[in-house]
Structure 1
């Protein structure tokens, strides 16, 4: 039998073919099975639209919500000031110049209606008393003369013109007596005249003395300057100054929360009065809210801030996190198709808590990115 011998070149060729066969098998298996995952882009730009691929990690990061119309009562804040009730505050003056004889009430003293506050010795008061006395005497004389002329006329002794003259004299004396008496009453004189020319000023309301500008013995010659101020501060007003742009949002009965600089806790009130005219200098209108103040916590002159709720209206509210700032513009990303978004520029209104009103740029029912939308702002 002949022995077969395999040479070295043939062996090498056989090994090469085996290697190629294994490589081919490997390529076949790779194509037959699942290909290795390639890098997936997180975000794809398609013109003005942004598309998030299926394998993008952004799908797990973003939160998308629909927005609906709801009732909105936007708050707005106005500067305010505590004021005394004008109907419960009286600034008292001396009706005539004179020397202050006595002051019966001091600062902080409680006052009842009719209590004597101060007395002034005024020379003109004595003159007014004398004029009243003369007018009363002339009236008495004219009354007696008229009665006498009427008796004579009944006896056909007096002429008719004498009766008429007596009647005219009586009417003139009566008018003068009324004028003199009214003058004394205006000056604060009690019935029976004003002996010695002394003016006694009494309080027209109950309250406390909150201002005193003179002392006993001083000469007071300014009839327009208040010598003493009496106020009832058991009721006060907090007055806010509203600008013209706020006028459409104001109405009587509107609820308000007042934060005073002096006290940490706010107080709640209600608008009772809205001014009919704007201040010519500040271009603002007064908004007054009454408050009970029996404990005296609210003192006229205190500074405060009044937060009022505007008239309720239908609108759109979105979370602040949904608004993306791009330069000077505010934008939100709106889902136009599943996982496809467009940037929409917004016009914003008032901020209410963690939300903000959208005046334009969105429609009810649209879905927007409400969380991590900044990831799309590339």
Structure 2
């Protein structure tokens, strides 16, 4: 029953027994910020292992899923490239020794005025060129990680650059590998992974490095996991108006796998806010209303602006004041 702008509940209405009224509360709340994301390996801890030489894979020292330590052998190639590199180093060393002898002889003859200066300078130049060529071949062997000592000059052993686990294998024993840009296997340390989330531009100010985050994974729908913000992107995506945020997640138990979809919720800074039970809100067209008590069983409909959901309560951004009493149950029955 309407009494001007007020809605009155008649004395004989059964609504009086079920209608509940409570005061609007002011409390410290944290505005949650949610964003979609996915699990990724740390870029610095994922290595696609390529061979700098071509050859036939004669031995795989590690298989898919094996744990490795930095320096452990991964696979061995029978490589003609390596043999050629050793041959070039041997020839360069022999040429250097000969050039050194020729230069020493020409120097003695020149100092005794027996030979012309041009012969002495030519020997000096040849000695310098031979020294440079020998150093180049040594550097090439050092780059390949091959010593100049004994052992096979065809077997090239490639070792793991990091500790971790073999997570991908593309080479097969007995196969010929002729693409030095293609990875034979991939080694990754997944003890710590990252959730990379796309956070809206309007929420960037509420984020900071070191902030805690709650992670929900599609693979584990009944569990939530904790993480810590490690990096907030420096560049905004012009198309989506979002920034990349990386959250570090402890993965020593191996439950998180790169590529998994997730949702992350960041806790904003605490601030005082008015909250009401979700049951107090009534949707009326494009507007949200509550019914404010103006007297015994007399209510006024009032439009409110709502914020985020906090548990079973909702933040009120405008339209109410702390302490005002509103219908929190069966208020929808007061709606026109």
TM over 0.5: yes
**Structure 1 residues 240 and 66 mapped into 2: Cα distance closer, same or farther (>3 Å)?**
closer
Aligned to 2:72: 115
CA radius of gyration, larger in: 1
**Structure 1 residues 94 and 187 mapped into 2: Cα distance closer, same or farther (>3 Å)?**
same
Aligned match of 1:273 in 217, 224, 231? 231
Q: Are 2:88 and 1:131 equivalent residues in the alignment?
A: yes
CA drift of 1:326 comes to 0.9
Aligned to 1:23: none
Aligned match of 2:41 in 78, 81, 84? 84
Aligned to 1:50: 6
Aligned to 2:277: 319
Aligned match of 1:332 in 287, 290, 297? 290
Contact conserved, 2:7 with 2:334, CA < 8 A, in 1?
A: no
TM-score (norm 1): 0.75
Contact conserved, 2:70 with 2:162, CA < 8 A, in 1?
A: yes
Residue pairs, 1:62-101, within 5 angstroms: 62-68=20-26, 70-101=27-58
Count matched residues. Answer: 333
Aligned to 2:134: 177
Q: Name the SS of the counterpart of 1:299 in structure 2.
A: coil
Of Structure 1 and Structure 2, the greater helix share is in: 1
- Work out the CA distance in 1 between the residues paired with 2:157 and 2:151: 9
**Structure 1 residues 328 and 193 mapped into 2: Cα distance closer, same or farther (>3 Å)?**
farther
**Structure 1 residues 221 and 366 mapped into 2: Cα distance closer, same or farther (>3 Å)?**
same
What is the RMSD computed on CA atoms of the aligned residues?
Answer: 3.3
Contact conserved, 1:126 with 1:194, CA < 8 A, in 2?
A: no
Of Structure 1 and Structure 2, the greater strand share is in: 2
- Work out the CA distance in 1 between the residues paired with 2:82 and 2:272: 69
Higher relative contact order (CA 8 A, sep 6+): 2
Q: Name the SS of the counterpart of 1:256 in structure 2.
A: strand
CA drift of 1:232 comes to 2.3
Aligned to 1:228: 185
Q: Name the SS of the counterpart of 2:126 in structure 1.
A: helix
Query: Structure 1 stretches of 5 or more lacking a match?
Result: 1-42
Aligned to 1:7: none
**Structure 1 residues 221 and 341 mapped into 2: Cα distance closer, same or farther (>3 Å)?**
same
Aligned match of 1:240 in 197, 221, 243? 197
TM-score (norm 2): 0.83
- Work out the CA distance in 1 between the residues paired with 2:304 and 2:150: 79
